[in-house]
Amino acid sequence: MKNSGKTKSKSPAIIPRAAHNVSRDDISKSALKVLYRLHKSGYQAFLVGGCVRDALLGLHPKDFDVATNATPDEVRALFGNCRLIGRRFRLAHVRFGREVIEVATFRAAANHADDDVAHDDEGRIIRDNVYGTIEEDVWRRDFTCNALYYTIAGFSIWDYTGGIGDIDRRRLVLIGNPGSRLREDPVRMLRAVRFAAKLGFTIDKSVADAIHDNVHLLSNVPAARLFDEFLKLFQAGFAERTFELLREYGLFAEIFPATDQELNEDESFRAFVRAALRNTDRRVAAGKSVTPMFLLGVFLWAPTKRMAAIRRSEEKMSESQSLSVAAYELVAQQQKRISLPRRFTGPMREMLALQPRFMSTHGKRAMNLLEHRHFRAAYDFLVLRAEVGEVDADLAKFWTSVQEKPGAERADSFEIHGEPRSKRRRRRRRKRRPKADQPS
């Protein structure tokens, strides 16, 4: 079912400056510069998408996207600090120090341009490389709240799709026919959940129904595209709520099938995952760094343990080895859904495989764990396991306190009372001497 385009209004509702709360103070200086220069050079230029939406909601937009009728080459001619990126559809990146303003030429909507948009058998867009006007650009966007255009010519907001009303009602509504918009690009299902969690919006019933009908299409999305989406879902500060919604809509099962199965069967694993997500959100709120490998490890923990037990029953190996082998297999399975860069999966496997080593608190080998390059992550993981009662709280306390102790006391904690290394060596060497050499 395609939209005919007949019902699409050609003229926007224009919300004048006096009737909205987006002020120039909400907009980065760099974005303003880009808007002014394009405007002065005779082009149309608007802020569009998340930045307008967030500013209207009183949130602080983190990045600014500009839409214009200037072609990428025309944009480049205007800005020295400009680079064109993207092959299929070229975008201009205008750089100001560390800030990049993305400038996109208006594009025609997927089902609006007759010839230059191609869909695959399931309705997914496979080609949409055609420039258009603002009246066309608006219809290819996903949600009405993401399709508002702010112009510095009069500081008004242009609304073609009823986005302002939906923002007021805090509703997430897809532009056009929800089913066909989700089939065109199934990632929009994840975006719906992400925006609902971040903005505290309700997913409109029409969208919710369409998600229910099309959940399975997520498995057609190239794994490479989902890694970025994974980061946005779980590292934007609303991971716990996002996770709940993903589960509610059956979307989580599509992107983490093995994890989802364990979640259904194991209440303590559910608590563990929740605790990790809550932690991640707390860290983001406090401006601390978060690494995707930690959450990946959390998601794959229960399936990895299960697989490790199977491997141990088949072959003689240590618990650590079995966890490492199992994590390797689960990562390989997971890669079919989401491409996971090796720089994350390597450390993640180590983090999981280190867990059994925390059980031992005596001797040199135990103490050496403190020097392991992934100790910190593995320790955080242990604390989380203790939080949900998977390991003894006292064990986690031991590893917490021991880190703060100076060298000598530390050795005491591990009950190491041996002689220094050099002496030991000497003694061993003496022992190895042939008997004949020794005085009788």
Closer by beta carbon to ligand ATP, 109 or else 326: 109
Footprint (CB under 6 A) of ligand ATP, residues 54-73: 65
Active-site option among 26, 54, 65, 128: 65
Q: Name all contacts of 364-370 with Cβ < 8 Å and 24+ positions apart.
A: 364/414, 364/416, 364/418, 366/414, 367/410, 367/411, 367/414, 367/416, 370/402, 370/403, 370/410
Token pair, residue 404, equals: 């703060």
Three-class SS state of 346: helix
12 makes contact with ligand ATP (CB under 6 A): no
Footprint (CB under 6 A) of ligand ATP, residues 232-261: 232
Footprint (CB under 6 A) of ligand ATP, residues 167-196: 185, 187-188
- What angle is formed at CA 337 by the lines to CA 184 and CA 215, rounded to 5 degrees? 45
147 makes contact with ligand ATP (CB under 6 A): yes
146 makes contact with ligand ATP (CB under 6 A): yes
Site mask for ligand ATP (CB under 6 A), range 101-140, x = bound? ----------------------------------------
Size of the site for Mg ion (CB under 5 A): 1
H helices then E strands: how many in the chain? 21, 12
Segment lying near Mg ion (by CB under 5 A), choices 16-24, 48-56, 214-222, 292-300:
48-56
Q: At closest approach, how far in Å is the CB of 195 from Mg ion?
A: 11
Q: At closest approach, how far in Å is the CB of 49 from Mg ion?
A: 6
How far is residue 314's CA from residue 312's CA, in Å, rounded to a whole number?
Answer: 5
Among 12, 50, 163, 303, binds ligand ATP (CB under 6 A): 50
Residue nearest to Mg ion (CB): 50
| Contact assessment for residue 97 and residue 34, using Cβ atoms and an 8 Å cutoff | no
The entry of Mg ion, ligand ATP, none near residue 147 (CB within 5 to 8 angstroms by kind) is: ligand ATP
For residue 375, count other CB atoms closer than 10 A to its CB. 19
| Contact assessment for residue 172 and residue 192, using Cβ atoms and an 8 Å cutoff | yes
61 makes contact with Mg ion (CB under 5 A): no
Active site (annotated) includes residue 120 = no
Residue nearest to ligand ATP (CB): 50
How far is residue 7's CA from residue 173's CA, in Å, rounded to a whole number?
Answer: 16
Three-class SS state of 222: coil
| Contact assessment for residue 37 and residue 50, using Cβ atoms and an 8 Å cutoff | no
Active site (annotated) includes residue 142 = yes
The entry of Mg ion, ligand ATP, none near residue 326 (CB within 5 to 8 angstroms by kind) is: none
Segment lying near Mg ion (by CB under 5 A), choices 49-57, 163-171, 246-254, 413-421:
49-57
The entry of Mg ion, ligand ATP, none near residue 185 (CB within 5 to 8 angstroms by kind) is: ligand ATP
Pinpoint the alpha helices (H) of 24-133. 29-40, 50-56, 72-78
For residue 126, count other CB atoms closer than 10 A to its CB. 10
50 makes contact with Mg ion (CB under 5 A): yes
Active site (annotated) includes residue 209 = no
Active-site option among 142, 159, 260, 281: 142
Three-class SS state of 307: helix
How far is residue 81's CA from residue 92's CA, in Å, rounded to a whole number?
Answer: 10
Q: At closest approach, how far in Å is the CB of 341 from ligand ATP?
A: 20
Residues annotated as catalytic (active site), given as ranges: 63, 65, 142
> Which residues of this chain interact with Mg ion, rule CB under 5 A?
50
> Which residues of this chain interact with ligand ATP, rule CB under 6 A?
49-50, 65, 141-142, 146-147, 185, 187-188, 232
